A and B are shown apart, each in its own frame.
Chain A
Amino acid sequence: MTRESRRAWLTFAVALGWFFLLLWPLTGIKADGSLTFDQTLAIFWRVAAAAAVLVVFWRLKRKGSFDGAGRGLATARAALARGISVVPAWIWWILLAAGALSYPLLTNRYGQDVAVTVLVYICLGLGLNVVVGLAGLLDLGYIAFYGVGAYTYALLSVNYGLSFWLCLPLAAALAAIAGCIIGYPTLRMRGDYLAIVTLGFGEIVRIILNNWMELTNGPKGIISIPPPSIYVPELEPTLHFVPFELRKITYAYYVILGLAVFTVVAVHRLNFSRIGRAWEAIREDETAAELMGVNTFLLKLLAYAMGAVFGGLAGAFYAARYRFVNPDPFTFIESAMVLAMVVLGGLGSIPGIILGALALIALPEVFRGFELYRMLAFGGAMTVMMLVRPAGLIPAKRMGQRSEERD
């Protein structure tokens, strides 16, 4: 045994001991005060064995035992990449669109439900990405804009009978105004202060929703919110249009798919615009950006407002889908979840964030049995990610596409 490998195994043993210390209180202490070890050990040995196998593989890889296989893999990957690039990009886009459009036909209600949730979080993640990924402003209260959007649609439709489609831009506008309200006082802050103030803002919105009984009906929430409806033509007796309510989850899927596509296109265009470049300049060096003639005050405010718009849109959809809102879903943990998606996927990277949303929403659904340990697994996964892929699953590409020069 070399010194290096002894060190690796020692680290491994310490990590396992640490894991046990974290695991036992979760599983071994029963509500009636009795202490057991059976369940903990059962989980512990399985995890330990799996981890040991991984460490062995890792050691072998370090020693170069897989070099042959690695080379084979590299050629295979290169061949695959060549194969993919032979087919023109637009074919992939058509396949992707066909897949997304036919998804409800191929899956059951549950599958559609998960997909709808993923798409909602894609909108939220991409919106937050404008603030955090592009402008570099930490926002721990982003979910408040989701809440503003949801209550905008809930109140306007229940009290005034406004249609979903009219409420969408209104929800976006109100969320943008909320974005400016939070943005304005935080513009001169950085780092920790910004984190605390945005965190506070998120809580303030939730508390207002909880306590302003006359407007929001408090914790009891607002019920019987109408679903989106469209007008369909009818021929009898003469040609006229009748309203048709999009109640089924399949319809909800198509509505949020449309919103998500809109969000992707909008964020992509923002990202590669003059404004997107200025946001990134502010993130990199605010003073230098100001010296280049960037109005940092206005642009930071705009980042908050634009980010909030997508949260507001997603919120309006949320209210229309569940046809019920109360303040419960708009908690800090949701803000943290969306932020985790953005960081996990890759700050500033649209495909990364889509993958991040998939990973954090769809995977826990697959492993439903582990519900209890979700947060533990979550923390572990984030730690591992930060170690092996600090720039995210799909790091933002920086190849100068943002420049006017495209040669």
Chain B
Amino acid sequence: MAEPILEMQGVTAHYGRIQALKGISLKVFPGEIVTIIGANGAGKSTTLMTICGIVRATAGEVRYRGEVISSQSPDVLPARGLIQVPEGRRIFPRLTVSENLDMGAFFRKDEDGIRRDRDLVFELFPVLKERRRQPGGTLSGGEQQMLAIGRAIMGRPTVLLLDEPSLGLAPLIVQQIFRIVKSISEENKTTIVLVEQNANLALNLASRGYVLETGSVVLEDDARALLENPDIRKAYLGE
């Protein structure tokens, strides 16, 4: 296989005295969809935040395109193609939909390219075009999730980190969002790291999966194998 585009080696992270990550190691290869599943509080969000440098790794390394990024300032990473859609969407509620999208392209200077990407986002999510002048906070939950994903696309991600995009959404909307995630992966060759509690959906979309429990990776395998693993079926697929 090729070199991993994103790699964590023995990464630990703390909130004050609480240790949230107890030595996470994982590899993500170019173009694949990898999912991280695990119960509430397992450390999935902390893992993504540590990759992005918002939470500082207290030991271990995060490598992106072969370079150690765990000591870099978080604001340089989006320009290098590492972009996260955080848990709970976290759009800017009082900025308009258009302004939210522009924030996604904050580090870019190529006006034409930005305009083209905005049209692309509007094509993916026509509802955002209709609502482009209204404050992001007035959108419904599903629309806000679309805005959060659209905002990330505006940065032309090489690796897109998605934290529980299905959280609190109706099944129909979740399917729509997963379809779009898939199309982003297929059309743009974007590498995707998908954190989910909805293990069934995530494992059906991804090629490989990691299972997190209280800050450690307890299992890693092909998504197919995980889907058929009886322990996983019992713990995460509700059987």
The interface residues of chain A lying within 8 Å CB-to-CB of B52 are: 291
What sequence of 0s and 1s flags, for each residue 33-64 of chain B, a beta carbon within 8 Å of any chain A beta carbon? Answer: 00000000000000000001010000000000
Whether B93 pairs with A293 at a CB distance below 8 angstroms is: no
Whether A398 pairs with B96 at a CB distance below 8 angstroms is: yes
By beta carbon, the residue of chain A nearest B102 is A403
What sequence of 0s and 1s flags, for each residue 78-105 of chain B, a beta carbon within 8 Å of any chain A beta carbon? Answer: 1100011010001111111111011110
Tell me which of B13-21, B111-119, B187-195 binds A.
B111-119
Whether B96 pairs with A403 at a CB distance below 8 angstroms is: yes
The interface residues of chain A lying within 8 Å CB-to-CB of B132 are: 400, 403, 405
Whether A405 pairs with B78 at a CB distance below 8 angstroms is: no
State the Cβ distance, A237 to closest chain B Cβ, in Å.
58
- The reply on B235 being an interface residue by CB < 8 A is no
- The reply on B133 being an interface residue by CB < 8 A is yes
Alpha-carbon distance A254/B132, docked complex (angstroms): 42
What sequence of 0s and 1s flags, for each residue 388-404 of chain A, a beta carbon within 8 Å of any chain B beta carbon? Answer: 00000000001110111
The interface residues of chain A lying within 8 Å CB-to-CB of B103 are: 277-278, 281, 289, 292, 294
By beta carbon, the residue of chain A nearest B93 is A284
The interface residues of chain B lying within 8 Å CB-to-CB of A405 are: 98, 115, 118, 132
State the Cβ distance, A287 to closest chain B Cβ, in Å.
6
Whether A292 pairs with B106 at a CB distance below 8 angstroms is: yes
Whether A291 pairs with B102 at a CB distance below 8 angstroms is: no
By beta carbon, the residue of chain B nearest A289 is B103
Whether A280 pairs with B92 at a CB distance below 8 angstroms is: yes
- The reply on B155 being an interface residue by CB < 8 A is yes
- The reply on A296 being an interface residue by CB < 8 A is yes
- The reply on A274 being an interface residue by CB < 8 A is yes
Number of interface residues of A (CB under 8 A): 24
Tell me which of B69-77, B177-185, B200-208, B215-223 binds A.
B69-77
Helix, strand, loop or mixed for chain B's interface? mixed
Given A277-B99, A295-B75, also A285-B92 (CB < 8 A): yes
State the Cβ distance, B200 to closest chain A Cβ, in Å.
28
Alpha-carbon distance A289/B135, docked complex (angstroms): 16
Alpha-carbon distance A372/B54, docked complex (angstroms): 52
Whether B83 pairs with A291 at a CB distance below 8 angstroms is: yes
Whether A402 pairs with B102 at a CB distance below 8 angstroms is: yes
State the Cβ distance, B92 to closest chain A Cβ, in Å.
4
By beta carbon, the residue of chain B nearest A282 is B92
Which of B54, B104, B118, B135 is in CB contact (< 8 Å) with A398?
B135
Alpha-carbon distance A64/B134, docked complex (angstroms): 32
Whether B115 pairs with A296 at a CB distance below 8 angstroms is: no
Whether B73 pairs with A398 at a CB distance below 8 angstroms is: no
The interface residues of chain B lying within 8 Å CB-to-CB of A280 are: 92, 94-95, 99
Given A400-B98, A405-B132, also A287-B86 (CB < 8 A): yes
Whether A293 pairs with B102 at a CB distance below 8 angstroms is: no
Alpha-carbon distance A204/B137, docked complex (angstroms): 40
The interface residues of chain A lying within 8 Å CB-to-CB of B96 are: 398-400, 402-403
Whether B86 pairs with A402 at a CB distance below 8 angstroms is: no
Alpha-carbon distance A290/B54, docked complex (angstroms): 8
Alpha-carbon distance A276/B78, docked complex (angstroms): 20
- The reply on A162 being an interface residue by CB < 8 A is no
Alpha-carbon distance A287/B163, docked complex (angstroms): 14
Alpha-carbon distance A285/B75, docked complex (angstroms): 14
State the Cβ distance, A340 to closest chain B Cβ, in Å.
22
State the Cβ distance, A58 to closest chain B Cβ, in Å.
29
- The reply on A22 being an interface residue by CB < 8 A is no
State the Cβ distance, B238 to closest chain A Cβ, in Å.
32
Whether A290 pairs with B75 at a CB distance below 8 angstroms is: yes
The interface residues of chain A lying within 8 Å CB-to-CB of B90 are: 285, 287-288, 291
- B residues engaging A (CB < 8 A)? 52, 54, 73-79, 83-84, 86, 90-99, 101-104, 106-107, 111, 114-115, 118, 132-133, 135, 151, 155
26 A-B pairs in the complex with CB atoms less than 8 angstroms apart? A277-B95, A277-B99, A277-B103, A284-B94, A284-B95, A288-B86, A289-B92, A289-B103, A290-B54, A291-B78, A292-B104, A292-B155, A293-B106, A293-B155, A295-B73, A295-B75, A398-B135, A399-B96, A400-B96, A400-B97, A400-B98, A400-B132, A402-B95, A402-B96, A403-B98, A404-B114
Known: A288-B86, A293-B75, A403-B96. 10 other contacts (CB 8 A): A277-B99, A281-B92, A291-B86, A291-B90, A295-B75, A399-B133, A403-B98, A404-B114, A405-B115, A405-B118
